[in-house]
Amino acid sequence: MAQIETTIKLELVAAKLTWLDLFKTAGMRKRAFLAMMIGLFTQWSGNTLISYYFFTILATVGITDPKTKQGINLGKEAWALINAVTIALFITRFKRRRMYLLCTTCMLIVYVSWTTCQGIYVEAEKKHKIDPSFPLNKTAGSMAIFFIFLYSPAYNIGFNSLTYTYLVELFPYAERTRGLAFFQFFGRGAAFFATFVNPIGLDKISWRWLLVYCCWVLFEIVVIYFFFPETYNRTLEELSFCKFTLACGLGTVLIFQQCLRVRIWLTSRSLQWRNRSMQIQQILRGRMKRQCMLRKEQMLRKSKEKGHGKAF
């Protein structure tokens, strides 16, 4: 009953907070900044380019047959499903910041390699059109597709499997829903922007558009290295008052105090019940001892009476 009452009090305290509380203190402003960055990173890391314009990319590297395109696309999606599920099952056992750095570093390596291979193929194709004797570099086109397949596990290490886990750990209870909504706002906006800008970039500057993503992923590494805090192996209460977010707002302080009161109350109640059970055990033991003594006395009396009877 006490836990239900405390939960209702926490909900009432959280209901009094507004969107302005998301930006009131330095700690909350940094949380909002991280949510904004994660929202942008999840959609501007080159994943929208592969998701929506994969067939255009295949045509760029010389694959124009519809059946071949469908087969490669099916293989890519099946591979993405397998590695996404596998990574999601064990990735939470590792440190968050380290996994984000590994994710972005792998994506940068993949994108640089992919850009290089696609650029080699496209430039060779241009020369082949001018001079048919100049050979096409089909190996570079095949390697470009290979690196596109490698992009999926690189992205899933961080931005697919850790995003919501990290955000839940990042925001305190009172501001968690607003923080997730803030993240969704920038994520959806970034996806909308990327969906309509990618075809323009591919049409105007061809494979050089991938260089934009190489630079952006490098920027992601810098932001994660300098601004992302480590939240692994800490309780949500500890994260609400960790060093990088020392000022957490009045609502979070009140909620934290209520949680402490509940813990203290439960501890005191458990101690009371323990003491009470010990007292009951002592009383029962005393009663058992008295009963044993009475039985011994009765047996002694009976034995004495029998002895007197025989002597008489």
What does the pLDDT look like over 102-121, one tens digit per residue?
999 999 999 999 999 999 99
The tokens 């996806």 sit on which residue?
191
- Alpha carbon distance 41, 224 (integer Å): 10
Dump the DSSP string for 167-217: HHHHS-GGGHHHHHHHHHHHHHHHHHHHHHHHHHHHHHHGGGHHHHHHHHH
Residue 243 lies in a domain: no
The structure tokens listed for 71 are: 């087969």
Give the HSE-up count for residue 11: Cα atoms under 13 Å, Cβ half-sphere.
Answer: 6
Query: What's the average model confidence in pLDDT over 152-160?
Result: 93
pLDDT at 245: 41
How far is C-alpha 312 from the chain's CA centre? Answer: 94
Q: Measuring CA to CA, how many Å separate 280 from each of 25, 271, 286, 288?
A: 53, 14, 10, 12
- Alpha carbon distance 184, 36 (integer Å): 9
pLDDT at 246: 36
- Alpha carbon distance 29, 31 (integer Å): 5
pLDDT at 174: 76
Query: What's the average model confidence in pLDDT over 207-223?
Result: 95
Given a cut of 90, whether residue 311 has pLDDT beyond it is: no
Q: Enumerate residues 6+ apart whose C-beta is below 8 A from 246.
A: 26, 27
Residue 111 lies in a domain: yes
Instruction: Examine the domain organization and report whether 68 and 196 are in the same domain.
Output: yes
pLDDT at 263: 54
Query: How does pLDDT run across 188-199, given as a tens digit for each residue?
Result: 999 999 999 999
Q: What angle do CA 114, 72, 47 make, to 5 degrees?
A: 50
Instruction: Examine the domain organization and report whether 122 and 198 are in the same domain.
Output: yes
How far is C-alpha 57 from the chain's CA centre? Answer: 31
Q: pLDDT category, 249, cuts 50, 70, 90?
A: very low
Q: Measuring CA to CA, how many Å separate 306 from each of 71, 292, 293, 295, 297?
A: 104, 21, 20, 17, 14
Number of domains in the chain: 2
Q: Enumerate residues 6+ apart whose C-beta is below 8 A from 93.
A: none
Q: Which domain holds residue 292?
A: 1-18+249-312
- Alpha carbon distance 149, 268 (integer Å): 57
- Alpha carbon distance 161, 168 (integer Å): 13
Residue 230 lies in a domain: yes
- 164-168, 172-176, 226-230: least confident range: 172-176
Given a cut of 60, whether residue 248 has pLDDT beyond it is: no
Q: Is the pTM of this model over 0.85?
A: no
Q: CATH number of the domain that 102 lies in?
A: 1.20.1250.20
Instruction: Examine the domain organization and report whether 78 and 200 are in the same domain.
Output: yes
Q: pLDDT category, 7, cuts 50, 70, 90?
A: low
Instruction: Examine the domain organization and report whether 30 and 148 are in the same domain.
Output: yes
The structure tokens listed for 240 are: 């609400």
Instruction: Examine the domain organization and report whether 207 and 259 are in the same domain.
Output: no
Higher per-residue confidence, 77 vs 294: 77
Higher per-residue confidence, 237 vs 50: 50
Domain boundary among 205, 236, 267: 236
Given a cut of 50, whether residue 35 has pLDDT beyond it is: yes
Residue 138 lies in a domain: yes
Instruction: Examine the domain organization and report whether 156 and 211 are in the same domain.
Output: yes
- Alpha carbon distance 153, 53 (integer Å): 19
Q: pLDDT category, 252, cuts 50, 70, 90?
A: very low
Higher per-residue confidence, 152 vs 246: 152
Q: Enumerate residues 6+ apart whose C-beta is below 8 A from 278.
A: none
Please provide the average confidence, as pLDDT, over all residues in the chain: 83
Residue 241 lies in a domain: no
Given a cut of 50, whether residue 281 has pLDDT beyond it is: yes
Instruction: Examine the domain organization and report whether 129 and 193 are in the same domain.
Output: yes
Domain boundary among 236, 265, 300: 236
Q: pLDDT category, 132, cuts 50, 70, 90?
A: confident
Given a cut of 80, whether residue 56 has pLDDT beyond it is: yes
Instruction: Examine the domain organization and report whether 129 and 8 are in the same domain.
Output: no
Given a cut of 50, whether residue 186 has pLDDT beyond it is: yes
